[in-house]
Amino acid sequence: GAGVSQSPSNKVTEKGKDVELRCDPISGHTALYWYRQRLGQGLEFLIYFQGNSAPDKSGLPSDRFSAERTGESVSTLTIQRTQQEDSAVYLCASSLVAANYGYTFGSGTRLTVV
């Protein structure tokens, strides 16, 4: 597609439920990143995928968070047993080759845990 697509755009879930967020990167972009932006705060790096290499999970805040990517296409970010502090905008970005040509971000998924 022309840009990075994320779905859903908004998600309200009850505390304790699992949620799955989806990211469709730009076709041909080998690098894919997930970031989180809590209200009034800066963006935090979560996880990085580059081709078929093992992902860099150093930014994941807890073992309730996991992400997968199939080859160089769609990625899903899963949050298990959601907590209120997980409420944030989750942003996905892709890059042609890890940051060489900059990042293109999606519009994000706004997650609210009630």
The tokens describing 12, both together, are: 């309200």
Question: 69 with 110: CB under 8 angstroms?
Answer: no
Rounded CA-CA distance 52/42 in Å is 29
Judged by CB under 8 A, which of 79, 91, 111, 113 binds other proteins?
A: 91
Judged by CB under 8 A, which of 68, 73, 99, 112 binds other proteins?
A: 99
Count of Cβ atoms closer than 10 Å to residue 75 Cβ: 23
Considering the complex, state which of residue 48 and residue 79 has its C-beta at the smaller distance from other proteins. Answer: 48
Binding segment (CB under 8 A) for other proteins, from list 11-19, 60-68, 78-86, 93-101? 93-101
- Residue 45 touches other proteins, criterion: CB under 8 A: yes
- Residue 19 touches other proteins, criterion: CB under 8 A: no
Distances (CA, A) of 5 to 40, 63, 78: 24, 26, 17
- Residue 96 touches other proteins, criterion: CB under 8 A: no
Q: Is 51 left (phi over 0), alpha (psi -120 to 50) or beta?
A: left
- Residue 65 touches other proteins, criterion: CB under 8 A: no
Contact residues: other proteins, CB under 8 A: 6, 33, 35, 41-43, 45, 48, 50, 56, 58-59, 91, 93, 98-99, 101-108, 110
